[in-house]
Amino acid sequence: MSHDKDEPKTRRALRNRIAFCVIVVLWVFFDRVTKIWFEGRPAGASAIDVGGIVELKLAHNFGAAWSSFSGMTMGLIVVTFILCIVIVTYALMVSKAASMLEMVGLALVFAGGVGNLIDRMVNGYVIDFISPLFIDFPTFNIADTGITCGIVCVIIALGRRYLSASKQAKTNEEA
């Protein structure tokens, strides 16, 4: 019976790729369901107050974050599509070494990009509906939440990797 030294990395890669796919499917599904529900509400439907923290109300964003690049739908579609390809390619490349936190982060960013890409391709705008009441902040959606949380997860994961590598290098120098 031979033991392949790469077997743990192969298992990790498989685990990471499965986690990536499951998170993407679930997040895109949740994003689509919420957007379809809000888009389907009757015109003039009142906003839903959630504990005075957020208000749920339909908004159409013809741009990107904070309505920047408004009216540049085709350019945003192309850029988002390219970024999604880069993210999934990177995720596949690092899946043997990446932590679960990094894969979760990449999956959330990718899923958020896909969710907003679908909106832009189908509607020509992004469906937003979450409006914070405690801060002056643009209305956003589940996809945007995934992108933001995913970026934070990736930054934390890469920071941990850097600190671990620095600690290991220091240990090797002392030895």
Q: Which residues are catalytic?
A: 128, 144
Tokens found for residue 5? 């030294």
H/E/C letters for each residue in 23-70?
Answer: HHHHHHHHHHHHHHHHHCCCCCCCCEEECCCEEEEEEEECCCHHHCCC
Helices in the chain by DSSP H: which ranges?
Answer: 7-39, 73-94, 100-123, 142-174
Report d(CA 92, CA 94) in Å as an integer.
6
Q: What is the largest CA-CA distance in the chain?
A: 70
